[in-house]
Amino acid sequence: MKPKVFVTREVFDETLDYLAQYCEVESNQQDMPLTAEALAQRLAEKDGVVCCLTDRIDAGLLERCPRLGIVANIAVGYNNIDIAACTARGVMATNTPGVLDDSTADLAWALMLGTARRLTEVESYIRAGEWTGWRLKQWLGVDVHHATLGIIGMGRIGQVIARRASGFEMKVLYCNRRPVANEIERRLSATHVSKDELLAQSDFVILQVPYSPETHHLIGAAELKKMKPTAILINSTRGGVVDDAALVAALRDGTIRGAGLDVFENEPRLHPGFLELKNIVLAPHIGSSTEATRRAMAMTAAKNLVAGLTGGMPSNLLNPEVKEA
């Protein structure tokens, strides 16, 4: 008998076709996030689930799904999954690293360039029919080229962001729990500094750390005050890494110049202050959202799930202890 699996959100046809070769598939192709109760009901008799960052997989849910053997997240970030609870119940958990590094790095760059050159402000101005002609001092932005880029979190995506900086002849600073290997530092021309030093020296600060209790409000009022008043903050990693209320205040009072944001605390609800500000570029959590990348993410999750359910080793197993036990 094929294992029974549930796909919590709309995916691509090829993902479902692939899963159907190995599993009995049920899916929520209406693409509305399920409530915790609905999710528990749909998973009660399932052996595996392909889920997304909008699904909370916690101890309470696992308790109600005794057959569940694997949770395959379509995302590299997995703060929606209680990994310890999965491990305690012998449930494998997987994510989709690698396939989205370039697209996510591109979006961080898009936010950085867009904020520096005020692209959303000027587009609104043009669309409102207010442009009456060229002026020397019109819509002055700031240069990205030759500026100092500070990357907080030098994992895979941080490194891809740094690699793109060489084309802009930027100085690259980074901070990380541990410095990366010398050879990587040399290749990226990146210098490891303390967080305070990075905040004080950078013209652009990009956050690329995963969300966890340790990184909750990594950037709050105190950190924003340490930044240059001319600096721009980019968050395309996870809401909650930035204290959004503190950021709204800092953008309002000119503590920093601007921000480019793809992720928010409590998304999709935004701190209302963001909508009143002009010195920001906002995006709806689309860091990895290119057609090719989202297809690759969904297929990676499906392959992880199938490997786990057919006795193999999923490529992106987050809790290998479960297999070792």
> Of residues 222-281, which lie at the interface with ligand DGY (CB under 6 A)?
none
Examine the residue annotation and report whether 257 is marked as an active-site residue of this protein.
Answer: no
**Choice among 9, 42, 118, 285 that is catalytic:** 285
Amino acid at 301: A
Closer Cβ to ligand DGY, 257 or 285, answer by number? 285
User: What track of x and - describes contact with ligand DGY for positions 276 through 305 (by CB under 6 A)?
Assistant: -----------xx-----------------
Nearer to ligand DGY, 288 or 316 (CB): 288
Catalytic residue (choose from 89, 217, 267, 271): 267
- Given the residues 9, 42, 118, 238, the one annotated as active site: 238
How far apart are CB 281 and ligand DGY at their closest, in Å? Answer: 17
* Nearest to 108, CA basis, from 67, 62, 138, 149: 149
What is the smallest separation between the CB atom of 75 and ligand DGY, expressed in angstroms? 3
From the CB of 296, what's the least distance to ligand DGY, in Å?
A: 11
For ligand DGY, the closer CB: 53 or 281: 53
Q: Which of residues 28 and 255 has its CB atom nearest to ligand DGY in the complex?
A: 28
Q: Kindly state the number of chain residues that form the binding site for ligand DGY, as judged by CB under 6 A.
A: 7
Respond yes or no: is residue 238 known to be catalytic: yes
Distance in Å, CB of 52 to ligand DGY, minimum: 8
x/- map, 40-79, ligand DGY, by CB under 6 A: -------------x---------------------xxx--
Residue 325 one-letter amino acid: A
Whole-Å CA distances, 166 to 61, 77, 106, 108, 160: 46, 27, 14, 15, 11
Q: In angstroms, what is the C-alpha Rg of the chain?
A: 21
Least distance to ligand DGY, CB of residue 179, Å = 24
285 an active-site residue? yes
215 binds ligand DGY (CB under 6 A): no
Smallest gap from Cβ 96 to ligand DGY, in A, equals 6
Per-position x/- string for 173-212, each x denoting binding to ligand DGY as judged by CB under 6 A, each - no binding? ----------------------------------------
Q: First vs last Cα of the chain: how many Å apart? A: 25
Is the bond preceding 268 in cis, omega lying within 30 degrees of 0?
Answer: yes
Question: Among residues 76 and 161, whose Cβ is nearest to ligand DGY?
Answer: 76
Among 91, 92, 100, 224, indicate the residue that binds ligand DGY (CB under 6 A): 100
C-beta of 223 vs 262, nearer to ligand DGY: 262
Catalytic residues, which ones?
Answer: 238, 267, 285
User: Which residues are at the interface with ligand DGY (CB under 6 A)?
Assistant: 53, 75-77, 100, 287-288
